[in-house]
Structure 1
Amino acid sequence: MLEDKELLHLLRNEKTQNEGFKFLVQQYQRSLYYHIRTIVINHDDTDDVLQNTFIKIFKNIHSFKEESKLYSWMFRIATNEALTFLQKKAKQNTVSTEEVLQNAVNNLKADTYFEGTEIQIQLQKAIAQLPEKQQLVFKLKYFEELKYEEISEMLSTSVGALKASYHLAVKKIEDFLKTN
């Protein structure tokens, strides 16, 4: 595993850029895939968003200012790509993003890459009912076990606002699971 400085050096040098990108993909593909998958739910959509994310990272690596960790910057790009994807899909189907997510959750059983149980499907249904920001904060905190400070850096939001969003999300999920 390469350190950020080494990776950035390879990526920003024309002669080693392709090699650096190969290392970047090897190092972060799995974690970015799962991050995106928690947002868009569907495997095929996740692959599309992941590909777009890596393209955007490759094109914009020179503008990375190193004010945050490389993975935080990439996760922010992945998050934005995933949310943009959901919004486009909703617009194409003339439905809300919530309905897009609900459809994805309803199709989880047919997804050959989903190995979850009925309880996990119910949890996904509960999460899909949340407002977009609460969904995102819950997924980052619960599934990816990120610290509030890391999420704050990714989403450019205060830790206090994140804690409030997470608390509200947990309460709504508990209420949903109790009634369904």
Structure 2
Amino acid sequence: MSEDADLIARLQDPARKDAAFRVLLEKYQQRLYWHIRRMVISHDDTDDVLQNTFIKVFRHIDNFKGQSKLYSWMYRIATNEALSYMKKRSQRMGITDEALREHLVDSLEADPYFDGDQAQLQLQRALAGLPDKQRQVFNLKYFEEMKYEEMSELLETSVGALKASYHLAVKKVESYLREINA
């Protein structure tokens, strides 16, 4: 039995669920935090989305059928929570999703949890202008160094489509960076 299969069995056992959930948090919290943080940008917003993600995981673990990896399932929950959060926030503010991302990147310099330099800020601005799919693929490949095959399972997309999305994202990021540094 794999490590995740054992963890899932414990999570689905009411007598061991709480202890197993602490193990799940320890194992996946940081990885999901950074995935969400790259989507919502703000540390405080990330904490909110991460908390909502783990609440949904806790409530719905009994429905997990094991047809994908545990992380893939949680990743999709986190992605959906982050996208939903951003959409609601942009609607509340009466601005587009892209304008919200730009606003959040602009506020990064004042974020005490952001320790990047000017180059990091420029990269974040470039990423804010990408379509969701390209930004997601770029983040997985560039920041998480994920292989296309793993991304394919995670995003339920062909390897060829992922390579094309990454290539387009890289070209757009390079173009943006050349333009602002010209």
TM > 0.5: yes
The C-alpha deviation readout for 1:68-126, integer Å capped at 9, x for no partner, is 11111111111111111111111111111111111110011101001101000000000
- Does 153-162 or 99-108 show the bigger shift? 153-162
Unaligned runs of 5+ in 1: none
Aligned to 1:100: 100
Compute the displacement of 1:8 (Å).
0.7
AA paired with 1:116? G
Shift of 1:137: 0.9
**Cα distance in 1 for residues equivalent to 2:117 and 2:164:** 29
Q: Once superposed, what is the RMSD of the aligned Cα atoms?
A: 1.1
1:63 CA drift (Å): 1.3
Give, in whole Å, the separation in 2 of the partners of 1:148 and 1:96. Answer: 30
Name the residue aligned to 1:148. Answer: 148
The range that moved more, 120-129 or 2-11, is 2-11
Q: In the aligned structure 1, how far is the partner of 2:24 from the partner of 2:100? A: 31
Distance (Å, rounded) in 1 between the aligned partners of 2:18 and 2:77: 20
The whole-number CA distance in structure 1 between the counterparts of 2:147 and 2:79 is: 16
CA distance in 2, matches of 1:102, 1:144: 23
Deviations 1:16-57 (A, max 9, x none): 111111111111111110111011110000000000000111
Secondary structure of residue in 2 paired with 1:10: helix
User: Residue 32 of structure 1 aligns to which amino acid in structure 2?
Assistant: L
Contact kept? 1:72, 1:150, Cα under 8 Å: no
TM (normalized to structure 1)? 0.96
- In the alignment, which residue of structure 1 is the partner of 2:60? 60
1:3-42 residue pairs with structure 2 within 5 A? 3-42=3-42
C-alpha displacement of 1:152: 1.5
Q: Residue type matched to 1:146 in 2?
A: M
The SS at the match of 1:122 is helix
| Percent of residue pairs identical | 56
Checking the alignment, whether the CA contact within 8 Å between 1:4 and 1:70 is kept in structure 2 is yes
The alpha-carbon deviation at position 174 of structure 1 amounts to 0.2
